[in-house]
Structure 1
Amino acid sequence: MEDLKPSPANSSPLTPLGFLDRAATVYGDCPSVVYGDTVYTWSQTRSRCLRVASSLAAAGFGRGDVVSVVAPNVPAMYELQFAVPMSGAILNCINTRLDRRTVSVILRHAESKLVFVDHQFRSLVLDAVSLFPPTDHRPILVLIASDDEEEEAGDGQKGLKELSSWADFNSTYESMVDRGDPGFQWVRPLSEWTPMVLNYTSGTTSSPKGVVHCHRGLFMIVVDTLIDWPVPKQPVYLWTLPMFHSNGWTFPWGIAAVGGTNVCLRKFDGPAIYHLIERHGVTHMCGAPVVLNMLSGGSGNGDKPLKAPVQILTAGAPPPAAVLHRTESLGFTVSHGYGLTETAGLVVSCAWKPQWNRLPADERARLKARQGVRTVSFAEVEVVDPKSGVPVKRDGSTLGEIVLRGACIMLGYLKDPAGTAKCMDPSGWFYTGDVGVMHPDGYLEIKDRSKDVIISGGENLSSVEVESVLYTHPAVNEAAVVARPDEYWGETPCAFVSLKAETGRACPTEKEIIAFCRAKMPHYMVPKTIVFKDELPKTSTGKIQKYVLREIAKSMGSPKSRI
């Protein structure tokens, strides 16, 4: 059989973009996207995506160009998950919670050629672009306008440039749809290893990590996730997970693959979620543990059980046992997993065993809070000694670094070969920087994060970056930031601070330190708690003992009120 080799017939590049073609053929008249009173079918969604891709290509955007999007979960955001890569360009979705400085850094680092801007974030992007150095190329801006603005531009009396509020924009999203070609032959990747998306792990202004994923990896994790959760044909999926989070864990492409209905919403709270569940018969949704708090916190549904079960997939900080119990008592079925921006989605899931249903509620919640085992098509997950690379004992207590190996691991970090080489071991492992244990039954559990990452409301934030801002305060001598448990957000930043002995001014209060931080960083990164100490605990070599501070923060429990 040695003479049997790969051929063009069996080597067509894998890509999730083809799911849209199939959805239009199989589910053409079925609803694809619902947003308020607007409903599109799969045939219409495919046509709109091809039109936008056609307009991008006609304007000269294509292979290798980065096209960014700053938008909430509206129909345009969903369509751009297909339209941008269908033009051959690389899609970059930017977190709308970032501040203008961070957005500016990302746009410059990515060398974005064009940015689609939702009208709600017009000022954010314009301010970000204004921070570009004079010699830097500025991206073309396209406005995702509100319905009222579209009507104003479409009355035939005013062009885009004549509208004062739109003077900085080249065109609108809907105008690109209107002038595009629905018969456009979308640009298939030359190789399945061709980059398709660029996502940033955090909003760091010093060393942004742009994660590049290829068509092949995204195809593999889409199929893997649909099998592992599992997701049936034609589900009704509620978009409570931001699509800017690793492309919504690849569900824009996944829901197309199974011909489901995407229920989009600009913003949400407990009452909005319950209303849409009842109105549209929602069957599936994703979100950080903070979403579970919204659902189980007594708001929105009056603690009444659901008329039909709703599947929820959550990841990030392990959901507290009490929150899990409250959520499931209302009729939600919670699944828990683990993934990173570098894996494009969840590659570890807490695969549930039927016999666990007979256990007490607290024990079930404890088991469900573990991250679990590798997903169906992912290759390997291990916990190893970071020095020797040898797997640790499967005793549920021996700590090690979590390492991964599988098809959906990123190609690497953009413009950062050293960072890529540091986490990609020559032996074939991706080192996550997360610390965990392996239980005797083969289930993984995260215990700590060696990268000092805090997960707050589903957002990953670096304690080092918060500390760097605290150190700019004239009265701060030392600063260390750790995670404090929070029943609502999962975790929030807690800053331990020592002050300079003589500053010639009154000592700052907790509120003043928080206000100082709010003026210098995205609000979700701002410490919610400030603890003043004469001196921070240190090792013999002078390093701050963060594990001591973590125990103090943990013992403080969840804050009584939220800032």
Structure 2
Amino acid sequence: MDQLNPRAPNSSPLTPLGFLERAATVYGDRPSVVYNTTTYTWSETHRRCLQLASSIVSYGIKRSHVVSVVAPNIPAIYELHFAVPMAGAVLNTINTRLDARTVAVLLRHGESKLVFVDYQSSSLVLEAISLFPHNSPRPILVLIADDESKTPSSLASGFYSTYETMVQKGDTEFNWIRPKSEWDPIVLNYTSGTTASPKGVVHSHRGMFIVALDALLVWSVPEQPVFLWTLPMFHANGWTYTWGMAAIGGTNVCLRRFDAAVIYAAIHRHGVTHLCGAPVVLNMLSNSPDNRPLKNQVHILTAGAPPPAAVLLRTESLGFTVTHGLGMTETGGLVVSCVWKPQWNRLPATERARLKARQGVRTAGMTEVDVVDPETGLSVKRDGLTLGEIVLRGGCIMLGYLKDPEATSKSMRENGWFYTGDVGVMHPDGYLEIKDRSKDVIISGGENLSSVEVESTLYSHPAINEAAVVARPDEYWGETPCAFVSLRPELKKKPTEKEIIEYCRDKLPHYMVPKTVVFKEELPKTSTGKIKKFVLREMAKAMSWPMASRL
């Protein structure tokens, strides 16, 4: 058998781009993208992506050139997930809520050659380009108009063409550029910016192929689902469901913007079966006065932050089926999932919610997941109590951080693990649970306490809508828990700081009880729904230091 080596027929590079070709054949007459009054079929989406890819190449874009897009969840950004890499280029999706300075930094760092810009972000991108140094090369700008019939006859200054013009002028018979190696880069994703400066995460065709299929398997997504895009496609490529929906002929229902009322309306109008979102989306749906009985089962996949058990309980009481997992920009998508066991259905609702709040076990596509002592690298006890850092290894881990070998080496160690920076525990049944980001652990009087546990207790308070807990400097304890909360708008009587502290004291160990509660109308969030704890930490630091508290 030693003479049986890889050969050309069995060594074609793995890439998720092939999903689109197959979809055009198998699901050609089925709806692929739905947006307002526009509907495309899979054969039409395949043709449009080929045309767009050929036009991108005609602009001088070559292998490994970076092509960026600044757009919300509209058909164009979905199509660009195929068209850009089909042109041999690397797709870079940029958060639409960033400021011009940050957009300028990302475009220059990634050396973008071509930028597709939604018309609502045109002024943002033009301002970002104006911040480039005088002698710095400028990318070609292409305008995405929501309605091409309303596009001015003459383009705004700075734009070379429109998106639809590029599609219509493209070659329907274009022979798309396949990767030479499955390790070729396919996307450049910048981290959300919740921690210091965003880093450029580069993923390969191989990694995205693995995680896209793995994401379908772990969520048990059947053929031809109706997928509602409540998760931004610019966030880790929509956890790879951009490509995944092509693999199974799903219908992508696109939303430019949404709130709870819009989500419920879309669910009932289109017969939505699946949607993704951070816990803030669950909180929005469960607290909305617009909720109505669901006509069909709707599955929600949540990740991005540990969801409080109380929020999970409220969401599932409305008829949603929630799956919870762990993923990062650096992993491309979900790598840990709380795989449900049938016997857990016999448990009380509160216990089911507590179990589901755990991140779970590795997905089938991951090689290994563990919780280790960050100093020794040894596995921590499986007691659900001993804290350690969550580490991963598997085929979907990033190639590395663009132009940052030091950060790449720090996270991807020679011992074969990728260090996530998440602090967690391993339970006796082999399920892991995130307790905090390493930077969010609060050390009070020498005790390490989990802000996530305190937040989960706060979310169970009937008056609290959102909660986040950060460290506040303290002369005596070093740090104490400081809770920022928003209250439900329909309340007639609002609780006091003392009442919330007393509520926590009845449910938490003494040292974990918040010493300060700050009421806010709304907590600051990133565009992906994560609460901006770095902003809250600065607010807590800016507060005057309390007198030595010995409560």
TM-score of the superposition, structure 1-length normalised? 0.81
* SS at 2:186 equivalent: strand
Matches within 5 A, 1:326-341: 326-341=314-329
Report the equivalent of 1:444.
432
Confirm or deny that 1:159 pairs with 2:157: no
Report the equivalent of 2:407.
419
Report the equivalent of 1:253.
243
Cα offset for 1:146? 2.4
Listed one character per residue, the Cα deviations across residues 405-427 of structure 1 (whole Å, up to 9, x for unaligned) are 00000000000111101111112
Confirm or deny that 1:309 pairs with 2:297: yes
Comparing 377-386 and 206-215, the one that deviates more:
206-215
Partner Cα separation in structure 1 for residue 547 and residue 103 of structure 2 = 35
Confirm or deny that 1:79 pairs with 2:74: no
Cα offset for 1:438? 0.3
Partner Cα separation in structure 2 for residue 117 and residue 453 of structure 1 = 39
Contact 2:278 2:530 in 1 (8 A): no
Cα offset for 1:497? 7.6
Cα offset for 1:97? 1.6
Comparing 82-91 and 97-106, the one that deviates more:
97-106
* SS at 1:82 equivalent: helix
Matches within 5 A, 1:96-135: 96-135=96-135
Report the equivalent of 1:45.
45
* SS at 1:199 equivalent: strand
Report the equivalent of 1:21.
21
Contact 1:115 1:140 in 2 (8 A): yes
Listed one character per residue, the Cα deviations across residues 83-132 of structure 1 (whole Å, up to 9, x for unaligned) are 10000000000111211111111111111111111011111111111111
Cα offset for 1:489? 8.2
Contact 2:71 2:117 in 1 (8 A): yes
Partner Cα separation in structure 2 for residue 211 and residue 89 of structure 1 = 15
Paired amino acid for 1:84? V
Paired amino acid for 2:154? G
Comparing 203-212 and 288-297, the one that deviates more:
203-212
Partner Cα separation in structure 2 for residue 170 and residue 420 of structure 1 = 36
Report the equivalent of 2:479.
none
Matches within 5 A, 1:126-205: 126-147=126-147, 150-153=148-151, 158-160=153-155, 166-203=156-193
Report the equivalent of 1:297.
287
Contact 2:304 2:328 in 1 (8 A): no
Matches within 5 A, 1:548-563: none
Report the equivalent of 2:204.
214
Confirm or deny that 1:343 pairs with 2:338: no
Listed one character per residue, the Cα deviations across residues 194-223 of structure 1 (whole Å, up to 9, x for unaligned) are 000000113389743100000000000011
Partner Cα separation in structure 2 for residue 523 and residue 252 of structure 1 = 21
Paired amino acid for 1:46? H
Cα offset for 1:28? 0.3
1:406 counterpart (391, 394, 406) = 394
Partner Cα separation in structure 2 for residue 407 and residue 490 of structure 1 = 36
Report the equivalent of 2:4.
4
2:306 counterpart (318, 327, 332) = 318
Contact 2:141 2:161 in 1 (8 A): yes
* SS at 2:220 equivalent: coil
From the superposition, tell whether residues 438 and 26 of structure 1 become closer, same or farther in structure 2 (CA, over 3 Å): same
From the superposition, tell whether residues 364 and 523 of structure 1 become closer, same or farther in structure 2 (CA, over 3 Å): closer
Listed one character per residue, the Cα deviations across residues 490-510 of structure 1 (whole Å, up to 9, x for unaligned) are 655868589xxxxxxxxxxx9
Report the equivalent of 2:222.
232
Contact 1:101 1:205 in 2 (8 A): no
Listed one character per residue, the Cα deviations across residues 425-447 of structure 1 (whole Å, up to 9, x for unaligned) are 11211011111100000000011
2:350 counterpart (362, 380, 384) = 362
Partner Cα separation in structure 2 for residue 382 and residue 179 of structure 1 = 51
Contact 2:145 2:151 in 1 (8 A): no
Partner Cα separation in structure 2 for residue 169 and residue 97 of structure 1 = 21
Report the equivalent of 1:468.
none
Cα offset for 1:82? 0.4
Comparing 133-142 and 356-365, the one that deviates more:
133-142
Q: Percent identity?
A: 66
Partner Cα separation in structure 2 for residue 424 and residue 271 of structure 1 = 43
* SS at 2:434 equivalent: strand
* SS at 1:232 equivalent: coil
* SS at 1:313 equivalent: strand
Report the equivalent of 1:430.
418
Partner Cα separation in structure 1 for residue 397 and residue 86 of structure 2 = 22
Confirm or deny that 1:88 pairs with 2:88: yes
Cα offset for 1:338? 0.1
* SS at 1:29 equivalent: coil
TM-score of the superposition, structure 2-length normalised? 0.83
From the superposition, tell whether residues 298 and 318 of structure 1 become closer, same or farther in structure 2 (CA, over 3 Å): same
Partner Cα separation in structure 2 for residue 318 and residue 534 of structure 1 = 30
Structural RMSD (CA): 2.9
From the superposition, tell whether residues 390 and 105 of structure 1 become closer, same or farther in structure 2 (CA, over 3 Å): same
Partner Cα separation in structure 1 for residue 408 and residue 6 of structure 2 = 30
Partner Cα separation in structure 1 for residue 55 and residue 28 of structure 2 = 23
Partner Cα separation in structure 2 for residue 278 and residue 528 of structure 1 = 37
From the superposition, tell whether residues 54 and 233 of structure 1 become closer, same or farther in structure 2 (CA, over 3 Å): same
List structure 1 runs of 4+ shifted beyond 6 angstroms. Answer: none
Paired amino acid for 2:216? L
Partner Cα separation in structure 1 for residue 388 and residue 195 of structure 2 = 30
Paired amino acid for 1:151? S
Partner Cα separation in structure 1 for residue 297 and residue 21 of structure 2 = 30
Contact 1:50 1:184 in 2 (8 A): yes
Contact 1:272 1:300 in 2 (8 A): no
Confirm or deny that 1:266 pairs with 2:256: yes
Partner Cα separation in structure 2 for residue 369 and residue 54 of structure 1 = 46
From the superposition, tell whether residues 348 and 109 of structure 1 become closer, same or farther in structure 2 (CA, over 3 Å): same
Matches within 5 A, 1:386-405: 386-405=374-393
Report the equivalent of 1:244.
234
Unaligned runs of 5+ in 1: 161-165, 455-481, 499-509, 539-547, 556-563
From the superposition, tell whether residues 48 and 42 of structure 1 become closer, same or farther in structure 2 (CA, over 3 Å): same
* SS at 1:189 equivalent: coil
Cα offset for 1:452? 4.2
Paired amino acid for 1:184? F
Paired amino acid for 1:97? R
From the superposition, tell whether residues 452 and 124 of structure 1 become closer, same or farther in structure 2 (CA, over 3 Å): farther
Partner Cα separation in structure 1 for residue 307 and residue 240 of structure 2 = 22
Partner Cα separation in structure 1 for residue 203 and residue 467 of structure 2 = 28
From the superposition, tell whether residues 205 and 431 of structure 1 become closer, same or farther in structure 2 (CA, over 3 Å): closer
From the superposition, tell whether residues 326 and 441 of structure 1 become closer, same or farther in structure 2 (CA, over 3 Å): same
Report the equivalent of 2:492.
none
Partner Cα separation in structure 2 for residue 234 and residue 393 of structure 1 = 43
Partner Cα separation in structure 1 for residue 86 and residue 114 of structure 2 = 15
Partner Cα separation in structure 2 for residue 206 and residue 120 of structure 1 = 27
* SS at 2:91 equivalent: strand
Paired amino acid for 2:425? V
Partner Cα separation in structure 2 for residue 406 and residue 318 of structure 1 = 22
Paired amino acid for 1:159? S
* SS at 1:379 equivalent: strand
Contact 1:97 1:524 in 2 (8 A): no
1:353 counterpart (341, 353, 358) = 341
Aligned residues: 486
Contact 1:383 1:401 in 2 (8 A): yes
Confirm or deny that 1:286 pairs with 2:281: no
